[in-house]
Amino acid sequence: MAAQIPVLDLAPLNEGRPGALEDLGAQLRRAFTEIGFYFVKNTGVPPALVDEAFTQTARFHAQPLEAKMSMPFNRHNQGYLPFRGNTTRMNAIDGIKKPNANEAVFFKRELPAEHPDVVAGKRFRGVNQWPAALPGFRDVALDYAAAMEGLGKRLVPIYAAALGLPADWFDDKFRSPMFTLRMTHYPQQAPTAPDDEWGIAPHADTSFMTILAQNKVPGLSIRLPDGEWIDAPALDGHFLVNGGMMLRRWTNHVFLATPHRVTNRSGQERYAIPFFMDCDYDAVMAPVPTCVTADNPARYQPYTYLDFMSEYSGANYGERDAAVGAAGGVALQGA
């Protein structure tokens, strides 16, 4: 199964070998036109940082519920979402499912209270909430987010190459990308749990890029374009990367947003730390020029991150919308 998912090795690019970017671009194009996922290795991200991020995720979710609920999930998609706190609706596969059997806490770029976007009340530009009784947690979360942002920015030129664009084509759209770090806990599901009970129901992400550290506890499955579901292998020292609906729209449906799902019938507690990276808040997205042809005319008018994410608001939050304020709703990103 691992052989079905391409592995992109960044070593030649890191070493400045001639043709490395073009070779990686060709591999990425195949990944996103045939599968929708790829592995990446030789990223330079310290394994110890990844391990510590998993440790801190478990530490957060081991807190009493009262402590976690003191950081309520809000209209900016930041804070704690309790067990079965959302239902997969937008981008769901085969209809709406039961509430998802996970709990998660969400963080975005660290912004001070005096930041102009915060003062202006711009949606998705809020101040992170941090646990009061977990010294060191914030530092690890921010360090991990910074490492993932750095990796994501180094991958973006490969996307440009894959699309037949200059290597710097996306640069002005990813100067300060929007991102979400989701630290998720999947409690053990009973072996007798119904088949339609999911840690996260089958769905496609909303993101431009989702970077997922490898998990020693299995549970992630991917639906290939032919409809076959495969269990995602875990390759030590690699990250698994996929694209979501933002990438699919931006490429005028040339690239895939492949559905995936999570169950946890492993007999262990399962944790995940997906990092969802998108373009800058004010970047304007129009279908990539190399993806618009006579046979595939532009499907979308230009739009911004706020336009895009607002479309998804409330879709996966259901009846909880009323609790997040007059603006209402959230736009959850899956894992």
Q: Is the pLDDT of residue 322 over 50?
A: no
Mean pLDDT of 187-192: 84
Q: Is the pLDDT of residue 327 over 80?
A: no
Q: Is the pLDDT of residue 235 over 70?
A: yes
Max mean pLDDT range (42-56, 84-98, 193-207): 42-56
State the pLDDT at residue 87: 63
State the pLDDT at residue 100: 82
Q: Where are the domains of the chain?
A: 2-324
pLDDT band at 333; cut points 50, 70, 90: low
Q: Is the pLDDT of residue 319 over 60?
A: no
Mean pLDDT of 217-230: 93
Q: Is the pLDDT of residue 330 over 80?
A: no
Class assignment of domain 2-324?
Answer: mainly beta
- Select the more confidently predicted residue: 245 or 312: 245
State the pLDDT at residue 300: 96
Q: What burial letters (b/e) apply to 155-183, b meaning 16+ CB within 10 Å? A: bbbbbbbbbebeeebbeebbeebbbbbbb
Mean pLDDT of 298-306: 96
Q: Is the pLDDT of residue 331 over 60?
A: no
Mean pLDDT of 45-66: 98
The pTM (predicted TM-score) of the whole model is 0.92
State the pLDDT at residue 216: 86
- Select the more confidently predicted residue: 266 or 9: 9
pLDDT band at 320; cut points 50, 70, 90: very low
Percent of all residues in the chain with a pLDDT value above 90, rounded to a whole number = 79
State the pLDDT at residue 33: 97
State the pLDDT at residue 189: 86
- Select the more confidently predicted residue: 334 or 298: 298
State the pLDDT at residue 132: 95
pLDDT tens digits, one per residue of 137-172: 999 999 999 999 999 999 999 999 999 999 999 999
Average pLDDT for the chain: 90
Mean pLDDT of 260-275: 94
pLDDT tens digits, one per residue of 200-215: 888 899 999 999 999 8
State the pLDDT at residue 321: 42
